[in-house]
Amino acid sequence: MSSILVEICHLTCLTIHYWVYYYDGEGIFVFKVFALINKVVAQVLLIWMLLMMAYGWTISYDDLKDKDIYIIILCFVVMIHMMITGLTFIDYGEAYKYHDFGGVQGFILIFLRILLWIGFIVGIVLTKKTAPKKALEFLRGFLISGSLYILAFPAVWVASFFNWPYVRHRVITFGNFVIQTMAISIILYQMSRKGSKYREISNRNTGILPTGATV
C-alpha cells in the first residue's frame, strides 16, 4: 500500500511538470525532482517486499525476527538508490543524455538491480527447501513475475540502444512502466484471486482457534 501511495505522488508530480512543460517548454524542475524521488522510493519499497516474500515472509513464517536488520537493509537500499538519483542531476541537460539514467548512473542502477535480482533468486531457492509442497506452484509463478518487475529497467535500458537516440527516452519510460505494471498486475492476481495457492499457504490467512489449534 505504501508503494502505491508513493507511486501516486510520483505520477501526480510528473503530470504537473509535463503539463507546465507543454506550455512553456521548461516545466517545473522541483516537481520533476520530486517525481523521480517518489518513483525510486516506490520501486524500492515494492522490491523490498518481493525480497521479503522470496525469503519466506507470509509463506514459511509471519513474524519478522530481527526486524532491525530488515530495516537497516531497506534504508541502505533506499540510500543507494537516492544517491544514484542524485547523480542524474549532475549532468542534467547534457546533449549526450536522452534519459535521466542515460549516463554512468544507468550502469550503476542496472548493477544494483541485478544484485537485488540475484538475492531474490537465492531467496526463492532457499524458501523452496522449507516451504510446504503446495507452496511450490506459487513460488514458481512468483519467481517469474518478481523477476519481471526487478529486471524491467535493465531490460528496457539495454533495448533502448537498439533504437534511434531521440526515441530512447520514450522506450525507457513507457517500456519500464508497461512491464512493471504488467508484473504488478500478475503478482496481485497470483496473491488475491479466489483459490490462489498463496491464499492457501499464507500465514496471514491462518486463524488461531481459542483452543490453540490452527485452521
> Facing residues of 214 across strands?
208
Going residue by residue through the chain, which has 215 residues, state the pLDDT in tens, using 9 for 90 and above. 567 688 778 778 888 988 898 788 888 888 888 888 888 888 888 898 899 899 888 888 777 666 666 777 778 788 887 887 777 777 665 544 566 677 778 888 899 999 999 999 999 999 999 888 888 989 999 999 999 999 999 999 999 889 888 888 888 888 988 998 899 899 989 988 887 888 887 755 444 333 344 33
Q: At what angle do helices 136-150 and 29-54 cross, to 10 degrees?
A: 160
Rounded-to-integer distance, Cα 112 and Cα 44, Å: 11
Q: What pLDDT sits at residue 56?
A: 87
Rounded-to-integer distance, Cα 137 and Cα 198, Å: 9
Q: Which helix (H) or strand (E) holds 169?
A: helix 168-192
Rounded-to-integer distance, Cα 10 and Cα 14, Å: 6
State which residues form the domain around 69.
46-201
Q: Does the pTM of the predicted model rise above 0.85?
A: no
Q: What is the DSSP letter of 204?
A: G
Rounded-to-integer distance, Cα 118 and Cα 180, Å: 18
Residue 78 belongs to a domain: yes
Q: What pLDDT sits at residue 43?
A: 86
Q: What pLDDT sits at residue 66?
A: 63
Q: What pLDDT sits at residue 50?
A: 92
Residue 38 belongs to a domain: no
Q: What pLDDT sits at residue 142?
A: 95
Q: Are 143 and 124 in contact (CB under 8 A)?
A: yes
Residue 23 belongs to a domain: no
Domain count, the chain: 1
Which residue, 145, 175, 146, 155, is CA-closest to 106?
Answer: 155
Residue 34 belongs to a domain: no
Residue 56 belongs to a domain: yes
Q: What pLDDT sits at residue 13?
A: 87
CA angle, residues 81, 36, 16, in degrees to nearest 5? 170
Which residue, 131, 40, 32, is CA-closest to 83?
Answer: 40
- 175: its cell numbers: 517500456
Which residue, 94, 91, 100, 92, is CA-closest to 37?
Answer: 100
Residue 214 belongs to a domain: no
Residue 8 belongs to a domain: no
